[in-house]
Structure 1
C-alpha cells in the first residue's frame, strides 16, 4: 500500500472536497482519500493497478487537476552529453515526474513534477545516486503559492473595483439622493447609461469574475454544482435579465423593465474581495510550517581536505565534520566531537533554557549555538534530520480529517443542489404569490438565495482549525503525528504514565549518602564517596556512573585503587592504600563476612522509599550506604495535580518492584500504581483501565512501551525516547517533559472548541439567512434582502471562520 499527498487546484468549497474524494475512491486500487480544503491537498492510499499518473488523470477529469511544480537545480560533476542523459533518465524514472530537461551548458536541470509528490531533497538524492551533485536553485518556497494566489486575487480585485465603482456609485447614489438621480438623468440619457452599465459589467464578468463561470458552469454540466456555480448563476441571471431589458425591453412587461447590472458586478466584486481576504488568511494558517522550514540553516562550514569549505546545506553528507561558530544555527543533526557550548533548543522543544552540549552530546538541525564553538559529526542530513521529520509530522497532521468532519461531508454533498432547488422554489413562489412587479421580486429573491448560501465556511470550519492548532502545538513542542488525535484527546478519562524516563529522568543518581562509620579515621563523606567512585570507575554498571557523577559534584579526589575485581550480581572489591574495599549489595557483604547489622537502619529507610542501596565496607567494617534512585522530573508532580484537577484519573505503570513504584507513585500522588508489569502486560493493563474508567492515554518513551502506545486510545511518546516508541504513538512530546501532556490536552480542547464554533456559525448562517434571502421577512416587515448584501454576507462568513481559527495561534502552553 502506497501513500501520496497531491496538491489539488480549483477547490473552493466543501462540495468540491466531497466530489474529489468520491472520484478518487471510485478508482480501482484506491483504498482511502482524505481531501483538505484549507491545504488544497489530497492524501491518497492506493495500490496496483492504480498509479500516480492515473490519480492525476482522475483529478483532471473531475475538474480539479493536480498541481504541477517546477524545481530548478544547479548540477556539478557533468562532463558530457551522456552525463546529462543519465541524470534525465534517472529523474524520468520517478513516477510523477513529467519533464526533466538537463542543460549541460548551464549545468542545470528543470524538473516538472506533480506538486507535493517529492521534496527537493528526494530529487537531490536521485541525482546524487546518478553520480552528480545538485543544489536547489529555485522553486516554490513554502507559502509562496498562497502568496502568489493572494497577489493575483488582489490585482483582479483592483480591476473589478475600478469597473464596478462607477456603476455602484451612480446607481446607489441615485437611490439615496434623489437630486443626484435627477441631475444625472438630465446629463446622461437613461438608455445610454444602460449601455455603459452593460459594457462595464460585461468587462467585470469576462475579466476578473471569469473564474466563476469557467469553473462553475462546467461543474454544473458535469452534474456536480459547487460554490462557483452558485455565484455564476446568481451574477449571470442578474446580468442576462438586465441585458434583455437593455436590448429587448419589449420581451418584458413595463412593470418589470428594471436593470440589475450593479447587482451582477457588485456580487462578483464582493466575492472576489472575500476570496482575497480568505487567501491572505489561509496563508497565515500555514505560518507554523513556514516558521519550522525557516529554522533550517542555508549553508554550513565543513572540513574537506584539511580546509574549511562553505557548502549549501543540500550538499552535506553523513559523517561530514561541521563547524558551528558562536551564534550560528546548527546545520544538520549530529554528535559533538569537540568544543563546549550552550545550545538554544526552544524553537523545537519549547524549553526556554539553553542546554549544555559537549563531547558526545546530540545536536539538532535548526537549533542555535550559544557563545562557544562546536565541531560535530553529521548523523542526519536532508530529509533525515529531526527538523525535517517534525515538518512532515505537522504537515500530515494538518491534512487529517477528524470524525466530526463526517457530518459536514454528508451535508455538503447535497448542499449546492438543495440551494439551487430552493432558489427555483423561491422564484416560483414569488411568481405565484408575489406583488407587482412580480418578475422583479422573483429575480431578486432567487438570485439572493443563490448568492448568500455559503458551503465555503462549512468546508473551512474544520481544516483551518486543525492547521492552526497543530502548527501552534509544534511551536510548543507537541507534534500530532495523527490529526485525529486532536478529537480523541477531548474525551480522555485516564492518563497512564510509564515511570522510568517519563515521570523520572531515566538516569540513576545518588540521592542519599549515609555515613555509618568513619572507620576510626577522620574521613568525611566526600572522601568515602571518592573512594567508591575510584572503584566503580572500573565497572560498566549504570549505578557506577551515578556514583562517579556524585563524587565529581562533591569535588573529592579519587584515590589510587588496585586489584579491582567485579563480582557478577554482587558488586566490586578492590585494594586502596593497602586496605580492602567492598562495594555492592547485602549478599556481597554476607559472602565476605561483613557484619551487616550496622546497615539495617539505612536499608529499611531506603527500602521504604524504593531507593536502591549500595553498601560500602572497608577492611571488613561497614562505612557507608549510598541510596541511588531515578530522580523525578521537576514538572511530574505538578502535571499529575493539574490532570486530577481536570477530573482525569492518573495511573503509573512500571516494571519496577512494588516498593520502588509505590514510593514514586506516593510522592506524585497518582491514583493508581501498577508495578512489576512486563512490557507485554502494559497493554493488558491499559485494557483494564479503559474498562474501569473510559478512554485511556498512555505516555511512554522506551521500546518496551511500544505495545502500550499502540493499544492506548491515544499514545503520547516522549520525544527523547526511542524511535520505535515514537513510531507507535499518535502524539510526540518533543521536549520529554510530562507537562507537555497538559499542553496537548489544552490544545485539543481549544481546537475542538474552535471547530464547534466554526461549524455552529457556518450552519447557523445558512439556516437563518437563506430563508431571509428567499423573502421570509417580506410579508410581515416588507424586507427583501439585496443580492449585493447577500454577496457581502457570504464573503464575510468564510472570513469569520478563518479569523476564528487564527485565534488558536495565541493558545498558551500548559493550563
Structure 2
C-alpha cells in the first residue's frame, strides 16, 4: 500500500528542542517512515504506512510528550437550507455536540466549517445529527463536483418554476376580476369556476410547494421556525380558506362564484420559486473566483520516467518528477528549473503583468505560463501543497468564515420568524374582532401578507454574499484575506507600519553609483572592480558584479585574490593591483582619499554603502551599493496617505540609512535601530495610543509583529513563516497592494451595510403596510423575492470593482 501523509498542528512548543523531541517521538512509532516538525509553523508532517499504524497514535504520542494537537478541521456542503434561520439551527446543533469547539455555517456558500476533537465526535455523528434536523451534510466536494451540484439545483428550480408558471398563469388571469379598472380585459367564465381553480392551484401548492412544507415540518419538529414556516402558513391559509369557500359554495348552491384566493397562494409560491432560481444562479456567480483559480491549473503534465516522455493527468505527478514544459504551456506544479531558461508569466498568481526571466535553480509556480523557452522542471510541491491549491484554500476559508457584523445578522434572524408569527396572529385578531367585526376573509388577507413579506432570506444573504464576492475579487487582484473578520477589520485601520527591507526596498543590494577621479576611465574601473569582486561571496560584492554585467562589460582574469575581513578585498587583475574597501584599508596602504571624501559622505548620507577604489596604489574613485527602493513604493505610500492613513517605516537599520530611504519615498515618520524581537513591542506601543495598526512585512523577524498588529499583511514574495503569521497575504511585492486591500475592505463593508439596509427596509416598511391591509399577498410575495435578489445582485457588483479608478 502507498504511504500516506498526515499533518498535525501542535501547540505548546517553546523552542526548537521541543520540536526535536516531538520529531524523535513520532519517528519511533511503528510504520512511520519519517516525521518532520517545523517549530516556526508549529506543524508536523508525518509520512506513514496506514497498514502498520493508526493516525490516532500520533496525537497520543504528542500528548504523552506534554504537548497538544490542535483540533481537526473539516467542512461539508449543506443541502436543504432555505433561509438564515436554517443556517443558525444547523450551526447551533453542531456546536452543542461534545468535542466540537467551533462551527460556522455560510448560508450563501451552503457550507459548514467545523473544528472538533475526533476522539469525542466523528464526522458521521455530525451527518446524522443534521439529518435529524431535516438537512443533509455532504462531505466537501471538489470544485467540479460542486459546480455540478449547483447546476442540478438550478435545473431543479427551473423545472419547478416552469410547472408553476404554466399552472399559475390562468389563475393570475382571474385576478382581473378583483379590479374594476381591469374590467376591459376578457376573462373566460370557466376560469372563475372554483373547481377549475382548485385543479390548477393544488399541484402548485403541494408539488411545487412541497419544499416549503418539508422545511416547515422539520423546523417545527425541532421547535424552531424558518422562512418555510412563514411561506407554508401564508399560502396554506389562502389555499385552505379558498377550499372551504368552494365547498360552502357547492353545498349552498349559490349563484355566481365566490371570491377565492387560490391565485394568491399560487402566485406567491411561483414568485418565491422564481426568487430562489435567481438566488441560486447569483450565489453560483459569487463563487466564480474559486472556479477561475481552479481553472488556471494545467490538466496534464509531460514527465520523464525511465528515460521516456509520458503525458499524465496532473493528479498523478509526484514530488521529484522531471517535467518538460514547452513554450506557451502552463507549468503544471510548483518546482525548480534544472535545465533551460525562459520568461515566466506569473500574472495569474502574483498580479505582476511583466514576465519574469527564470534560469536553472529558480523556483516556478504551478499554473503560471512559460512564454518562450523549453524547460525541465523538478516537481517540488504537488496537489494540495502547491501555491495555487493554498490560494484556493485561503479563499474558501475566507468565504466560509464570519465577520462580526454577520454574527449580528444571524442573531436577529434566529428570533425574527417567531416574532413575525406573533405579529401575524395579533394582526388577524385585531382585524377579526376590531376592524372588520367577524369578517374572517378580511382578517386573513393582511395576515397572509405579513407572513409572506417577512421572510428573512435577504437578511441571511446580506453579509455572506458580500464577503464571498469581495474576497473572491480580492483574490483575483492578488489579495488573500484569510477570513471574513480580517476583511472587516481592515477597513478600520488608521496606521500602517512598513518594514523596510524587502517591503519598501527590494531587499537585495544593487550597484547604484560609480564616481571616478580624474585620470581614470569609468568603464575600465568598473571592469577591474567587477573582476576583483567576482571572487568574493559577500552580498555587496555580488551586487557590484551583477551591476557591472548589466552594463554589458565582460570580466577579466584574476591571478591573485585576498579577502580582508572588515576592510574589503585585494586582487590582481591583468597585472594591476585592485583594492576595494574602507577608509581604514586605504590609510593602511598609504593611499590618500581626500579627493573622494566629499563624494563618499554624500553617498553615505543617502543611506548607501560607499567603498573606496584604488588601482596600483592610486585612488581611482568611489563605488556605492544600496538596497534600492522598489519602483512603486513612493506611489503606494502616497496612495495610503491620501486614504487618511498614518504611514510609519520600521527597521533595524541605523537612523541615517532609514531616514535616507524615508525621504526617497515621502515618509517623515521612521522608527529605526529596532531589534527583531522589539518590533512587536513597537506595534503594541502604537496600539496603546488607540491606533488601529496594520503591519506589513516579509521576513521571519516580522512574524511576531504581524501577529501583534490588528491586521498583519505579509508580502507574498517573502517567507512562508511571515505569510503564515499574517491575516492578509499580498501576492505581489508591490506596496500598492496595501492600499488596494484597505480600499477593497472599505468597499466590501459598505456593500454589506447596503445589503443590510435593503434587507431591513423591506421588512420595516412592508410589515406595517401589510398589517393595515394595503399590501396584497401576491405583491408581498413579489417584494420578498425581489429583496433576496436585490441583495445578491448588489453583492455581485463587488466582482466588477476596479479600485485603481
TM-score, L = length of structure 2: 0.88
Q: 1:753 aligns with which of 743, 750, 754?
A: 750
The reply on whether 1:644 has 2:636 as its aligned counterpart is no
Tell me if structure 2 keeps the 8 A contact 1:746–1:814: no
Moved more, 12-21 or 425-434: 12-21
1:451–1:569 Cα change, 3 Å? same
Residue by residue over 1:182-219, the C-alpha shift from the partner in whole angstroms, topping out at 9 and shown as x without a partner, is 9633xx396xx211211221111221211110111221
Give the equivalent residue in structure 2 for 1:40. Answer: 110
How many residues align? The count is: 733
SS at match of 1:610: coil
Equivalents in 1 of 2:671, 2:234: separation in Å? 66
Cα displacement (A) at 1:730: 0.4
Tell me if structure 1 keeps the 8 A contact 2:334–2:379: yes
SS at match of 1:404: helix
Tell me if structure 2 keeps the 8 A contact 1:173–1:180: no
Equivalents in 2 of 1:363, 1:189: separation in Å? 70
Give the equivalent residue in structure 1 for 2:203. Answer: 203
The reply on whether 1:232 has 2:232 as its aligned counterpart is yes
1:663-812 equivalences under 5 Å are 663-692=660-689, 694-775=691-772, 778=773, 784-812=774-802
SS at match of 2:79: coil
1:431-446 equivalences under 5 Å are 431-435=432-436, 438-446=439-447
Cα displacement (A) at 1:642: 1.5
Tell me if structure 2 keeps the 8 A contact 1:464–1:805: yes
The reply on whether 1:18 has 2:88 as its aligned counterpart is yes
1:269-668 equivalences under 5 Å are 269-435=270-436, 438-518=439-519, 523-668=520-665
The reply on whether 1:61 has 2:171 as its aligned counterpart is no
Cα displacement (A) at 1:559: 2.1
Give the equivalent residue in structure 2 for 1:127. Answer: none
SS at match of 1:66: strand
Residue by residue over 1:237-294, the C-alpha shift from the partner in whole angstroms, topping out at 9 and shown as x without a partner, is 1111111112245999999953211111111111000000111111111111100000
Give the equivalent residue in structure 2 for 1:78. Answer: none
Give the equivalent residue in structure 1 for 2:170. Answer: 166
1:693–1:411 Cα change, 3 Å? closer
1:183–1:148 Cα change, 3 Å? closer
1:556–1:767 Cα change, 3 Å? same
Give the equivalent residue in structure 2 for 1:90. Answer: none
SS at match of 1:50: coil
Equivalents in 2 of 1:655, 1:225: separation in Å? 59
Tell me if structure 2 keeps the 8 A contact 1:561–1:575: yes
Cα displacement (A) at 1:351: 1.9
Equivalents in 2 of 1:601, 1:189: separation in Å? 102
Tell me if structure 1 keeps the 8 A contact 2:176–2:182: no
Equivalents in 1 of 2:737, 2:175: separation in Å? 59
SS at match of 1:35: strand
The reply on whether 1:147 has 2:151 as its aligned counterpart is yes
Tell me if structure 2 keeps the 8 A contact 1:448–1:790: yes
Residue by residue over 1:542-592, the C-alpha shift from the partner in whole angstroms, topping out at 9 and shown as x without a partner, is 111111111112222322212211222322112223332222223333333
Equivalents in 2 of 1:693, 1:517: separation in Å? 57
The reply on whether 1:222 has 2:226 as its aligned counterpart is no
Equivalents in 2 of 1:23, 1:617: separation in Å? 79
Cα displacement (A) at 1:478: 0.6
Tell me if structure 2 keeps the 8 A contact 1:452–1:770: yes
Moved more, 470-479 or 434-443: 434-443
Cα displacement (A) at 1:310: 0.8
Equivalents in 2 of 1:376, 1:189: separation in Å? 74
Equivalents in 2 of 1:253, 1:13: separation in Å? 44
Cα displacement (A) at 1:57: 2.1
The reply on whether 1:51 has 2:122 as its aligned counterpart is yes
The reply on whether 1:28 has 2:98 as its aligned counterpart is yes
Tell me if structure 1 keeps the 8 A contact 2:527–2:548: yes
Tell me if structure 2 keeps the 8 A contact 1:245–1:252: no
1:178–1:363 Cα change, 3 Å? closer
Equivalents in 1 of 2:436, 2:359: separation in Å? 86
Tell me if structure 1 keeps the 8 A contact 2:157–2:276: yes
Tell me if structure 1 keeps the 8 A contact 2:469–2:798: yes
1:189–1:623 Cα change, 3 Å? closer
1:57–1:252 Cα change, 3 Å? farther
Equivalents in 2 of 1:336, 1:386: separation in Å? 16
Moved more, 356-365 or 631-640: 356-365
Residue by residue over 1:725-766, the C-alpha shift from the partner in whole angstroms, topping out at 9 and shown as x without a partner, is 000000001011101111101100110000000001111211
Tell me if structure 1 keeps the 8 A contact 2:194–2:257: no
Cα displacement (A) at 1:142: 4.6
Residue by residue over 1:121-158, the C-alpha shift from the partner in whole angstroms, topping out at 9 and shown as x without a partner, is xxxxxxxxxxxxxxxxxx94352222221111001111
Moved more, 745-754 or 246-255: 246-255
Cα displacement (A) at 1:439: 1.0
Over the aligned positions, Cα root-mean-square deviation in angstroms equals 2.1
Equivalents in 2 of 1:65, 1:142: separation in Å? 15
Equivalents in 2 of 1:719, 1:181: separation in Å? 67
1:549–1:416 Cα change, 3 Å? same
Tell me if structure 2 keeps the 8 A contact 1:175–1:181: no
Residue by residue over 1:45-73, the C-alpha shift from the partner in whole angstroms, topping out at 9 and shown as x without a partner, is 22241222222222222322202xxxxxx
Equivalents in 2 of 1:568, 1:742: separation in Å? 43
TM-score, L = length of structure 1: 0.87
Tell me if structure 2 keeps the 8 A contact 1:726–1:732: yes
**Gaps (5+ residues) in structure 2?**
1-70
**Gaps (5+ residues) in structure 1?**
68-113, 120-138, 779-783
SS at match of 1:471: helix
SS at match of 1:231: helix
